[in-house]
Amino acid sequence: MISQSIDARGLNCPIPVMKAKKGIKGLQTGQILEILSSDPGSARDFDALCRSTGDKLLSSDNQDDGSYRFVIEKT
C-alpha cells in the first residue's frame, strides 16, 4: 500500500530526487513512497539514492505517457 505519492513529472534533476529524499524522511520504517518522474536519468538517480540511504527500490516502471514510476520502501 502506497503511504505517500509525489508527482515530479516535468521537473529536471536533481529536483525529483530532492523531493523523494524529503518524502522518505517523513515516512516510518516499512512505509512506501511512490514517485512519478519524467526525467530520463531518474532510474539511475533513484537506484543511487536507495543505495546511499539503505532504502529499498521495490519497482521501477515506464508509464504509457513516457514518464517513470518508482516505488521505494523506507527501511
Of 6, 11, 13, 57, which one is the catalytic site residue?
Answer: 13
User: Exposed (0-12), middle (13-18) or buried (19+): which is 70, by Cβ within 10 Å?
Assistant: buried
Task: Specify whether 13 is catalytic.
Answer: yes
> Quick count: other Cβ atoms within 10 Å of Cβ 72?
25
What are the residue numbers of the active site?
13
